[in-house]
């Protein structure tokens, strides 16, 4: 029996479930900084280039949040951070690893990027454009929290070149939003959505979370109905997990309480329901988490380039990136990050150079999240027959009803898609299967 299926549990335990990289983040080390600094000072590989910018401010900290965010910074501290981030972009723009590559995609994540005022955003982008531009980017994504938006701010985002606006709805039930620590309530979603539609973004996305504390069948069905009524271009649906550094996780571990989060079968059933409802409304599955209204009009440059081995220059506190086969994370503490940049140094905190085999595993497990794999892609790129290399795993998953293999194509069933993250550790190298993920 594979490691993933042998250890799968019904209850939502504390620990990371969602797989976003490989090898696990816990294996990255400050001892490897020379490797990433060397890569940054060398010419690039011939792969696409993306840019991530971390805006770590929020009105409130959600009880399920595991990102690096701050809710207590005053205006002068926010300005200090914006200056540090601008300085980082300036330093990054001069690195040899940039080459002459344009940014294929840009992603403003958080935290809450829309926490910044329209004037702050304009000033930030003006400063960034002194060093870089994203005029040729296929996609510029900006994450928003409904309660931070105003009609002028939405138009400012459109004017700054944002093509994909992603709204963190999560749920439409106000009691659930309050109990889980969300800063917004449903009326703020209803107020902001017409502004977003009128602005004419190429792609409007809404995020939902299945399994928030207090959710029920009836409340989830109402949330799915209301989400469909908004007619977003795409919807992203996550299943709530409990990484170690969330408020919920600390309470469970510290006070020895039972997990308040819905179990995995319930969450999968809710996502399954949502997929069926969105499909009936004309949407198509794009990955284990996303459905799109028109696949010919909506692509996911950020996702698809990352999952096919692009470089990602990560900027901002605690952000994760990778260049030329070296993965890295920026310094995670406020003073360390700001002071490094104020002294003219890149704020890199830890790194890991991956092997060719690890690059193969990384691309394979991430691409499997789309619901299918093309074995010839890996044969051509890595000279590896993934069907032969992991034949026992494929066979077991096929016997369990999680996937089907036709010729050189692996295709997940709906059952496999709903639990894809639990299937991925079976492909990890043995030394990484029992380590903490983050």
- Over residues 267-276, the pLDDT tens digits come to 999 999 999 9
Cα distances (angstroms) measured from residue 117 to each of 78, 146, 150, 265: 11, 14, 9, 41
The interaxial angle of helices 151-159 and 118-128, nearest 10 deg, is 10
Cα distances (angstroms) measured from residue 362 to each of 145, 218, 369: 31, 38, 11
Share of the chain above pLDDT 70, in %: 98
- Over residues 126-173, the pLDDT tens digits come to 988 999 989 889 999 999 999 999 999 999 999 999 999 999 999 999
Tell me the three-class secondary structure of 5-71, residue by residue: HHHCCCCCCEECCCCCCCCCHHHCEHHHHHHHHHHHCCCCCCCCEEEEEEECECCCCCCCCCCCCEC
For position 60, what pLDDT does the model report? Answer: 85
Q: Is the pLDDT of residue 15 over 80?
A: no
For position 197, what pLDDT does the model report? Answer: 97
List of E strands, 56-193: 103-110, 139-144, 164-170
For residue 86, what is the enclosing H or E element?
Answer: helix 75-93
For residue 389, what is the enclosing H or E element?
Answer: helix 386-389
Q: What are phi and psi of 352, to 5 degrees?
A: -155, 125
For position 3, what pLDDT does the model report? Answer: 42
Q: Is the pLDDT of residue 61 over 50?
A: yes
Domain boundaries, the chain: 25-305, 355-437
- Scanning 200-257, the segments in alpha helix (DSSP H) are 217-230, 247-255
Q: pLDDT grade, residue 62 (50/70/90)? A: confident
> How many CB atoms are closer than 10 A to CB 67?
17
- Over residues 400-430, the pLDDT tens digits come to 999 999 999 999 999 999 999 999 999 999 9
What is the residue-averaged pLDDT of the chain? 93
Share of the chain above pLDDT 90, in %: 83
Tokens encoding 180? 């889980």
> How many CB atoms are closer than 10 A to CB 180?
24
- As a CATH number, domain 25-305 is 3.30.750.200
Rounded Cα distance between 232 and 347, Å, is 37
For residue 235, what is the enclosing H or E element?
Answer: strand 234-239
- Positive or negative, the Cα torsion across 420, 422, 426, 428? positive
- Over residues 333-372, the pLDDT tens digits come to 999 999 999 999 999 999 999 999 999 999 999 999 999 9
For position 247, what pLDDT does the model report? Answer: 77
- Over residues 387-401, the pLDDT tens digits come to 999 999 999 999 999
Tell me the three-class secondary structure of 244-281, residue by residue: CCCHHHHHHHHHCCCCCCCCHHHHHHHHHHHHHHHHHC
For position 8, what pLDDT does the model report? Answer: 54
409-412 and 372-374 as β-strands: parallel, antiparallel, unpaired?
Answer: antiparallel
Domain range 355-437, CATH class: mainly alpha
Q: What are phi and psi of 239, to 5 degrees?
A: -100, 125
Helices H, strands E: what count in the chain? 18, 15
98 three-class SS: helix
Query: Residue holding tokens 């069926």?
Result: 276
Can you state the percent helix, strand and coil of the chain, rounding each to 5? 45, 20, 35
Rounded Cα distance between 132 and 244, Å, is 36
């Amino acid at each position: 029996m594979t490691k993933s299926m042998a250890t799968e549990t019904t209850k939502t335990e504390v620990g990371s479930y969602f797989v976003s990289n490989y090898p696990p983040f816990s294996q990255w080390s400050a001892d490897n900084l020379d490797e990433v600094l060397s890569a940054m000072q060398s010419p690039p590989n011939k792969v696409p280039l993306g840019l991530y910018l971390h805006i770590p401010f929020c009105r409130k900290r959600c009880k399920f949040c595991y990102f690096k965010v701050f809710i207590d910074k005053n205006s002068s501290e926010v300005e200090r951070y914006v200056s540090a981030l601008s300085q980082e972009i300036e330093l990054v723009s001069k690195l040899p690893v940039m080459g002459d590559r344009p940014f294929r995609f840009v992603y403003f994540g958080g935290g809450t990027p829309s926490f910044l005022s329209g004037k702050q955003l304009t000033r930030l982008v003006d400063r960034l454009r002194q060093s870089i531009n994203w005029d040729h980017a296929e996609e510029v994504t900006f994450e928003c929290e409904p309660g931070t938006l105003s009609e002028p701010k939405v138009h400012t985002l459109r004017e700054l070149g944002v093509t994909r606006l992603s709204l963190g709805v999560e749920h439409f039930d106000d009691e659930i939003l309050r109990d889980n620590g969300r800063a917004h309530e449903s009326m703020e979603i209803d107020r902001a959505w017409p502004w977003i539609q009128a602005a004419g973004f190429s792609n409007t996305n809404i995020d939902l979370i299945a399994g928030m504390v207090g959710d029920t069948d009836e409340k989830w069905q109402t949330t799915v109905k209301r989400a469909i009524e908004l007619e977003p271009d795409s919807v992203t649906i996550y299943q709530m997990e409990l990484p170690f550094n969330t408020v919920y996780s600390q309470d469970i571990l510290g006070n020895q309480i039972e997990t308040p989060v819905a179990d995995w079968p319930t969450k999968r059933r809710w996502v399954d329901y949502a997929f069926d409802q969105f499909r009936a409304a004309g949407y198509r599955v794009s990955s284990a988490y996303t459905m799109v209204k028109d696949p010919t009009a909506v692509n996911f440059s950020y996702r698809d380039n990352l999952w096919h081995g692009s470089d990602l220059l990560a900027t901002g506190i605690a952000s994760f990136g990778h260049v030329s086969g070296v993965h890295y994370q920026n310094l995670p503490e406020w003073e360390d990050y700001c002071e490094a940049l104020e002294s003219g140094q890149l704020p890199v905190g830890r790194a890991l150079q991956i092997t060719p085999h690890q690059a193969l595993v990384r691309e394979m497990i991430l691409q499997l999240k789309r619901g299918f794999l093309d074995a010839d892609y890996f044969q051509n790129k890595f000279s590896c027959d993934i069907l032969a290399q992991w034949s026992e795993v494929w066979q077991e998953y096929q016997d369990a009803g999680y996937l089907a293999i036709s010729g050189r194509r692996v295709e997940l069933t709906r059952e496999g898609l709903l639990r894809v993250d639990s299937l991925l550790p079976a492909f990890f190298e043995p030394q990484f299967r029992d380590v903490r993920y983050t």
